[in-house]
Structure 1
Amino acid sequence: MKHCVVTTFHEAGYQQYGKRCIKSLLEKWPDTVSMLVYPENVSVDLFEARVQALDPLECLPKLQKFKLSNRDNPFANGTNPIITKQTKNFRWDAYRFSNKVFAVTDAIRRCKGDFDQLIWLDADTVTHTQIPEKFLNKIAPKNGQLAAYLNRRGYPECGWVGYNLKHPEILNFADRFEQIYLSGEFLTYKENHDSYIFWEIVQEMERTNTAKFKELGSKWRSGHIFIRSALGKYIDHLKGDRKIEGRSRERDALSFMHKLPRFLQQNFSR
């Protein structure tokens, strides 16, 4: 299989973690894997044939249209529509997460035909162990599966999503993802960040038997599940202040274990 990775970051993010993400990918991933990055107002100074940087201002006109329409909308910029005193909550920060949404949909269209799987990878990740190509093939969505994602209790963790570029509905998925934001429909949902909207589309497509999806997480898990999945053997996800610490904490991987029956603990142990 042929794999392409996509990510995005702003200037501060590039310096703090984005550069490290790219470098570790180049060092630890198979040299057959390519990467698309959509840097926000920052120049990527890593010159490597496998990495292509695309300017969002030029390549993502739909993103610019969305931002122009919603830059002054408090309910697209972190304000809770029910408790309006809450003004800095990621659950209603569609403006912030729109960079990711439109980078994914653009990359789907660019990579379709040349690659089998497009992998969204959060830029605040670092690959610490060599990833075998057979691992990427194993966890990739196949046949009737449109995407592979980290499910958990509630909406999924979308720090990693693998998209099946051979699926007949992949372009319809991309169109739907975009239109929910461009039409303003995102304001009608309980939450409007990318992971919640992705989850709504997954459920919608499953209800209508339009597509199937591959679950890489577990309904038993919650919170910081990236490193508790099979991905944790190779990649660390530096969520929140872990970006400053430079690594996840031991309790991140173990905190949920005591709640499970013993036979499940054995299954989930790495």
Structure 2
Amino acid sequence: MVETFVKHWPAEVPLLLYHEGFEPPLNPGRIEPHDLIETCPELASFKSRHALNPRARGELLPWSRLRLGPLSLPLPVRTRKGKYRWDAIRFAHKTFAIFDAARRTGADALIWIDADTRFFADVSLDELEALTPANSAASCLKRPVFSECGFVVYNLRHPQTRQLLDEFEAMYTGDLLFAEREYHDSYLFDVVCKRAQARGAYIHDIAEGAGRYAKHVLINSRLGRFMDHMKGNRKVDGRSRDDDLVVKRDEAYWQQPE
């Protein structure tokens, strides 16, 4: 992601690169490296606090539940949903980087981008501005179950964004996330966004509804005009699959064979 970011993003936009266990590439003025553990002591505290907690690692899955109208009845079997949904420690690395970056930057907007992405076309400042409407507290890729958080924009000039981020961080620092149905970052992001919306905040859907019918929502949104996201086992192939696309894409990148 780093190389293609430097190649295709405006020079005015720096990359705050949070790293752990490797030496980041040096590119003064474009890349601002931060050792994740050194800059995020609350992450180290969270990991230490739950080092022996199987619930925090997705090792003790919740009971399945039978829903009958307003009733939710526990069943004597564990859920078969993916364990990643309850792996709080895994996704805490991502969220604490966001919390630190939001405090550190003086920019108008903070964009989180997953590392398993590739940019294949230039990204203009006008495009970035379109992703962050002035009246939005945050912009994401909405889906019916939970949002895709491989690309999220936080509007740091919006009066409600700081409270949203504070409540998001408190999920971890106060261990409040264990009261939620799932513990991964996307589910918790949606929880705090719904609270913000209840206070009148607007959360912009970058996908413009595509998440209702596209399982791989990022590449089927406007973001697919300039980037790919190698989610899950797509990392092995080095790109998304042809059958991930449900919208017509004319960009040269998508015309290449898998």
Give the TM-score range, shorter chain: 0.7 to 0.9
- Equivalence for 1:220: 212
Extract unaligned runs of 5+ from structure 1.
1-20, 255-267
Distance apart, 1:86 and its partner CA: 6.3
Aligned match of 2:53 in 73, 93, 99? 73
- Give the conservation status (yes or no) of the 8 Å contact 2:160–2:196: no
Structure showing greater radius of gyration is 2
- Equivalence for 1:110: 104
| 1:13-32 alignment runs, 5 A limit | 21-32=1-12
Overall identity of the aligned pairs, in %: 36
In 2, distance between residues paired with 1:87 and 1:233? 32
Distance apart, 1:186 and its partner CA: 0.8
| 1:1-270 alignment runs, 5 A limit | 21-79=1-59, 80-82=61-63, 84=78, 89-111=83-105, 114-143=106-135, 145-209=136-200, 211-217=201-207, 218=209, 219-254=211-246, 269-270=248-249
| Larger relative contact order (Cα-Cα within 8 Å, sequence gap ≥ 6) | 1
- Give the conservation status (yes or no) of the 8 Å contact 1:92–1:192: yes
Deviation readout 1:186-210 (Å, 9 max, x if unpaired): 111111100000001111111232x
- Give the conservation status (yes or no) of the 8 Å contact 2:141–2:206: yes
Structure holding more helix per residue? 1
Distance apart, 1:24 and its partner CA: 0.1
TM normalised by structure 1 equals: 0.82
Alignment-mate amino acid for residue 103 of structure 1: A
Deviation readout 1:163-220 (Å, 9 max, x if unpaired): 10101222222211111112221111111100000001111111232x2111112252
Q: Which stretches of structure 1, 4 residues or more, deviate above 4 A after TM superposition?
A: 83-88
Query: Residue 245 of structure 2 aligns to a residue in which SS?
Result: helix
- Give the conservation status (yes or no) of the 8 Å contact 2:16–2:31: yes
- Give the conservation status (yes or no) of the 8 Å contact 1:40–1:55: yes
Query: Residue 172 of structure 1 aligns to a residue in which SS?
Result: helix
- Give the conservation status (yes or no) of the 8 Å contact 1:60–1:102: yes
CA RMSD of aligned residues (A): 1.8
In 2, distance between residues paired with 1:180 and 1:41? 26
- Give the conservation status (yes or no) of the 8 Å contact 1:78–1:87: no
Distance apart, 1:47 and its partner CA: 3.0
- Give the conservation status (yes or no) of the 8 Å contact 2:56–2:87: yes
Distance apart, 1:81 and its partner CA: 2.0
Distance apart, 1:141 and its partner CA: 3.4
Extract unaligned runs of 5+ from structure 2.
64-76, 250-258
Alignment length (residue pairs): 233
* Structure 1, 41-50 or 237-246: larger mean CA deviation: 41-50
Deviation readout 1:209-246 (Å, 9 max, x if unpaired): 2x211111225234211100000010000011111111
- Give the conservation status (yes or no) of the 8 Å contact 1:146–1:163: yes
**CA pair 74-86 structure 1, distance change in 2 beyond 3 A:** farther
Query: Residue 54 of structure 1 aligns to a residue in which SS?
Result: strand
Query: Residue 27 of structure 2 aligns to a residue in which SS?
Result: coil
- Give the conservation status (yes or no) of the 8 Å contact 1:153–1:222: no
